Structure 1
């Protein structure tokens, strides 16, 4: 008994010492990051409710409440700042590339809301961005469904905190350090899905929009895909569930075999019921 207790104490002590040795390393690695990138992240808050009372300015300088842009269709939310020359244009370009293959249209099956987190951005800069991307998207109705907003610091802070978007401002270089990704929001204003990076899978985006709409858009084929694919919050992607795919394939095989047997039996029965031709 004493030997077992001694072994447990020794193992616990080693584990504690290892953790203590690792802590300074982790802290140092975090502090070695550039100032603009410290504490920068896009934390998932799936199911969280957005503050619908927030007020922003649209491209024409009109005040709009967030709830006015929701309630009808799922929304793709992107957070950028319009003077950005690095990641923000890449993110919007990546979003545009993912939207083009979709049979869904902005302003019809879903909307896009792009919000600047720089309070210095103006409706004029928002209008310029909108004109560029609506023209490149080149589908009717997009001008009514893709909104580019600006706002004051209070509204920006409340929105970014609600969606888990953390960023820093680097004064010396007059730029922001920020994460990249888009957020799918339900018509009720709840966070449905996160997609990370600057390139997005059209398939994942389509499946996410269907789920965010509570299956009100999409086809029966999409429902089969949703049965076989599952959203993984750790990666922000839809992964194939092999067991479900095998089960679905097996069901189709059994159904096809059953139909084949029924057809063959009916054909054989008709053949037997036909009168024998006289010689």
Structure 2
């Protein structure tokens, strides 16, 4: 289990502490304020999220997390809808990335956003969904976006299952928290973590393909997955030099083999010596 701190702490500071964030970030270990010591994301790859957890969707309908699993992978975000800064950046970053991915929510995968503030209610979720869809620009995918609210017990069941640790600051009435989005398999297991507020479309696409156990995507995507490896520390896909060399070597052999076969076939054809019978 890996704990991600540096970039995430800086973003958490930016969310709640404004101009003082850099000074706080420069502090180490126990020198940091107590709230920031609690803010982190512990990777729990392949862990199960509690699918039986009850929530309400953006229309106010009572749902369970399992309603969005079972058939497709899920791209999930943990935010709160009244967040003044970081949460909007997380959702904007996710939408920016998805605009450059050909997969459509509701078809190849589902988008699930859960508020970790128990005070958030469905009208706030509905307003946030409208904003996300307007930015996304694919109104036909509305049924693939699910923005949920719930009570504290439901929220903590999910946040703990993904290793998401946050802190409520009573003085500012805001939450200090880290930033990430998560790819989950159709049966609700954590497959990939993507950190920060900018998510490379390539990483998100490959993460969804792997979460779908290669049941979506194209043959080209399979080649990319052969050449790129998910780095759990950074939450990004990085090139695998040996696999790239193997692929290049195989392609070279295929070209040479085709050339040799063509030449052999040409030599095997009967030649016309030009003499009349």
Task: State yes or no: 1:202 paired with 2:178.
Answer: no
**Which residue matches 2:215?**
216
List alignment gaps of at least 5 residues for structure 1. Answer: 1-27
**Which residue matches 2:8?**
none
**Which residue matches 1:19?**
none
Distance apart, 1:30 and its partner CA: 3.1
Tell me if structure 2 keeps the 8 A contact 1:106–1:141. no
4+ residue runs of structure 1 moved beyond 6 angstroms?
none
Instruction: Report SS of the residue matched to 1:217.
Output: coil
Structure with the greater alpha carbon radius of gyration = 1
Instruction: Report SS of the residue matched to 1:148.
Output: strand
Task: State yes or no: 1:177 paired with 2:201.
Answer: no
Instruction: Report SS of the residue matched to 2:166.
Output: strand
Distance apart, 1:57 and its partner CA: 0.5
Distance apart, 1:140 and its partner CA: 4.5
Task: State yes or no: 1:135 paired with 2:134.
Answer: yes
Q: Match for 2:273 among 252, 273, 276?
A: 276
Q: 1: CA distance between counterparts of 2:144 and 2:97?
A: 16
Q: Under a length normalisation based on structure 1, what TM-score does the superposition of the two structures give?
A: 0.87
Q: 2: CA distance between counterparts of 1:228 and 1:135?
A: 35
In structure 2, relative to structure 1, the CA distance for the partners of 1:140 and 1:266 (3 Å cut) is: farther
Q: Under a length normalisation based on structure 2, what TM-score does the superposition of the two structures give?
A: 0.87
Q: Cα deviation per residue 1:61-93 (whole Å; 9 max; x = unaligned)?
A: 011001011111110110000001111111111
Give the aligned length.
Answer: 250
The two structures, once aligned, show a CA RMSD in angstroms of: 1.3
Distance apart, 1:35 and its partner CA: 4.3
Q: Cα deviation per residue 1:113-149 (whole Å; 9 max; x = unaligned)?
A: 0000000001000000001111221225321111110
Distance apart, 1:275 and its partner CA: 2.5
**Which residue matches 1:4?**
none
Task: State yes or no: 1:115 paired with 2:111.
Answer: no
